[in-house]
Structure formats: structure tokens, C-alpha cells
Amino acid sequence: MTLRVQVDIARQQLSCADNGRLVARYPVSTAANGPGQKMDSLCTPLGGHVICARIGAGLPVNTVFVGRKPTGEIYTPALRDDDPGRDWILTRILWLSGLETNRNRCGEVDTRQRYIYIHGAPDEVPMGQPGSHGCVRMHNQDVIELFDRVAVGTRVDIVDGA
């Protein structure tokens, strides 16, 4: 199986293709600041990437992560109300690493060093529109399904209008 993932920022959509045949499509939410490569820009980086780590296998839906580690908390509306400004990273993390030197790899444009992930988000977070701090947010059930399809090394292309 040659699975490839594409995130289309303009469409706010993630697609998976196996040997060129579409096998899944999901709504996502990319950066509120739009596409961009620079460190601290809060933008979603463009270009070719790979999944460099899969984090959260087998953990419950709505597991809360901080620094890529589960906190032991399960996200609830009450937890949200205690920390209303927090950018929640839930359920699963697919950590991305750029493949293109000086575009999304190395220096001030390094996707991995920017901690750009595909990850779960609270159910009330709208998908299909920009809103993240640079990552690619997904519904929790969707990110679990994607997580179970991909491996470390799976190619992820992030485009702005395909």
C-alpha cells in the first residue's frame, strides 16, 4: 500500500489516497493566520512532509496532550470552561517533519521544530474553516481513523488549493 495524505488549505480538507485512489476525505481546520512557513507565525506550513511520530495509540477519545504527552485528563466542557483560551490537542497526534530544505525544513521554517501536528480537537471546534494555531485539526473520530491508516514515514503534502 502506498498511502499519501494531502491537506488542502483552500478547501479545508484532508484526503488519503492509496496508489492514487481516494480512500478517505475529512474536513479539517488549518491556521487562522493562513499558510506560512516561519517559526512563531502561527501559520500552516506548505509543501512535502512526512509523519515523523504517531502519538496516542490506544488512548481514550478526548485524551488531553501537553508537550506530546497525555496529561491524564479527558477533555470535557467543564475543563474547557476552566481554561477558555487554550488550544486543545486531543486524542491522537501525527507529528509532521518537512522534506524541503529552506522551505519547511531547517532554520526558521522547520515544521518539526515548529511542532506542527495533525491532531484531534474538541467536538465543538468547527471544521471546514481556518481556526488553528498552525496545526491541522480534525474531529476526534476522524483523527483516530486516519491514525490507524498511516505509519511513520507516510507522505503528507500541504497545498493551498489543489
Q: Where are the domains of the chain?
A: 3-159
Residue 149, helix vs strand vs coil: helix
Mean local confidence (pLDDT), 19-37: 96
pLDDT of residue 63: 98
Mean local confidence (pLDDT), 13-40: 96
pLDDT value at 1 more than 80: no
pLDDT value at 67 more than 90: yes
| This model's pTM is above 0.85 | yes
Mean local confidence (pLDDT), 129-135: 96
pLDDT of residue 162: 53
Instruction: Look at strands 117-120 and 136-138 and give their pairing.
Output: parallel
Question: Phi then psi for 152, rounded to 5 degrees?
Answer: -60, 135
Which value, in Å, is the radius of gyration of the alpha carbons in the chain?
A: 15
Residue 64 CB coordination number (10 Å)? 20
- Residue-wise pLDDT for 80-128, tens only, equals 999 988 899 999 999 999 999 999 999 999 999 999 999 999 999 999 9
- Residue-wise pLDDT for 136-147, tens only, equals 999 999 999 999
Instruction: Enter the CATH code of domain 3-159.
Output: 2.40.440.10
